[in-house]
Structure 1
Amino acid sequence: MQILKPVGREAASKKYDLLSAMMAHALAGDKHRQRLVLRLMALITTRYNWARDELSIGQREIARLWSVDERTVKREMAKLRGLGWLDQKHAGARGRVATYSLGIDRLLLDTRPEWALIGPDFVERLSGTPAAPESTVVPFQRPQSFTPEGLWGRAQMQLSTEDPPTFGAWFAPLTEIGVAQGRLELLAPTRFHAAYVMTHFGERLRMAARRADPSIRDVQVTAV
């Protein structure tokens, strides 16, 4: 999957692509997810600086925009941070509001299952690969290389759904060592594999583990 960066000559269309993916994701979800996505879209379209990747707005202003109280703002912003859709760059302080960056990569991963609802051209544009032609042939289903049991099993289910090629190449070979003091420890087949995963996919692993178990604070990948 190519990473969508809303800059350059095609910046406007890339922004619309991201918002379209969010819209399709919301419409396919329940009322709670729809409301959360709508609130984030309101922040993006009114206050997000695409060039600087910065959302700078106070809780009182958010409450007014959303037509809610500040307690609701705190709860919803915590959900957005927990999902990885927003990342706090600077905490609010006296005379200064909090600033956030937008988790575009995470948003694309989470909305990917709904891209096909928009159309094959949309899937091709965002994934960078041609859409598969329709066929009446039933493809051979390879057996899963994991069982969706336990913490790592649940995390693997999410990782395999959101990005199958990356999962097959880098996440499937990992095995669980155990959990200690809020850290999930995984074993890679080689030192290179462990280093590559931690460097390029460390945050994605941590997010998947936290979604499977909110008590997890970190993920460590090692090799024999």
Structure 2
Amino acid sequence: MHSPKAVGRQAAARKYDIITALGTYALARGKHDHRLVLRLLTLITARYNWQRDELAVGQREIARMWSVDERTVKREMAKLRGMGWLVVKRQGARGRVSEYSINFVRLLDDTRDDWAKVGPDYDHRMKGEPAPEQGAEVVPLPVRGAVPAPEAGGGSAWDLARAILHQEDAANYGSWFHRLRAGERVGGRLTLVAPSRFHAAYVRSHFTVRLLNVCRSVDDSITQVFVTE
């Protein structure tokens, strides 16, 4: 499994993965679990500090956010602690609210059985396994008009690889590959630069193996392809 915390260069994509795991888990269960997880998701998106792993919210504020009374808040927070998803970092006292951390290892372990429902790419990514070769299950985002074949005259590894990618799969080339530009090359590591953080995260998740294979087919000294924004 990948690092359970949303940290580093892929933090934004990792947050979405965690929220997806929680949502899929909740939707597969009864209304009580469904509501409990929805309440936790609301706390995470509204008040959780990802960098400090800290959730510090008073019961009164939570009650207002959940549209319930404080007794319900106590009961639901106790359930989340009992599940091992919330851990008390500092107990509230003398006007201070309790501070919690989120046990992502336990949370993700509990939601593991539902990952495959999202799709094989997500399941493999969450388990830290290489993504399967993408086929019909991946639907490229639409682009306006056909993207013409790239010029391979530059002769660089990426110029040649782009031409191959266009020839083999014009749809994904138009959606994801043609806007990647060659960045720094250090030893066997080739860096490709995407136009946005989302674009980079999507390509890393779905096409890293494919990009490496195509780049190695034109330059076998390339041992790693990294996509950044």
Q: Which category of TM-score, normalised to the shorter sequence, fits these structures?
A: 0.5 to 0.7
Provide Cα deviations, 1:93-146, integer angstroms capped at 9, x if missing partner. 11210000011111100100000010000011110124689xxxxxxxxxxxxx
Give SS of 2:124's match. Answer: helix
> Take 2:79 and 2:30, find their aligned partners in 1: how far apart are those partners?
15
Residue 96 of structure 1: aligned partner: 96
Matches within 5 A, 1:199-214: none
TM-score by length of 2: 0.56
Residue 147 of structure 1: aligned partner: none
Deviation at 1:4, TM superposition (A): 2.1
> Take 1:111 and 1:127, find their aligned partners in 2: how far apart are those partners?
12
Deviation at 1:82, TM superposition (A): 0.4
> Take 1:85 and 1:5, find their aligned partners in 2: how far apart are those partners?
13
| Structure 2: gaps (5+ residues) | 134-229
Matches within 5 A, 1:48-197: 48-130=48-130
Alignment of 1:17 with 2:22, yes or no, is no
> Take 2:113 and 2:63, find their aligned partners in 1: how far apart are those partners?
31
> Take 2:127 and 2:97, find their aligned partners in 1: how far apart are those partners?
36
Give SS of 1:49's match. Answer: coil
Residue 30 of structure 1: aligned partner: 30
Residue 141 of structure 1: aligned partner: none
Q: Which amino acid aligns with 1:108?
A: L
* Residues paired across the two proteins, number: 133
Q: Which amino acid aligns with 1:14?
A: R
Q: Which amino acid aligns with 2:127?
A: S
Q: Name which one, 1 or 2, has greater alpha-carbon Rg.
A: 2
Give SS of 1:87's match. Answer: strand
> Take 1:50 and 1:32, find their aligned partners in 2: how far apart are those partners?
26
Q: Which amino acid aligns with 2:36?
A: L
Deviation at 1:92, TM superposition (A): 0.8
Q: Which amino acid aligns with 2:4?
A: L
Residue 44 of structure 1: aligned partner: 44
Residue 7 of structure 2: aligned partner: 7
> Take 1:64 and 1:70, find their aligned partners in 2: how far apart are those partners?
9
> Take 1:100 and 1:109, find their aligned partners in 2: how far apart are those partners?
19
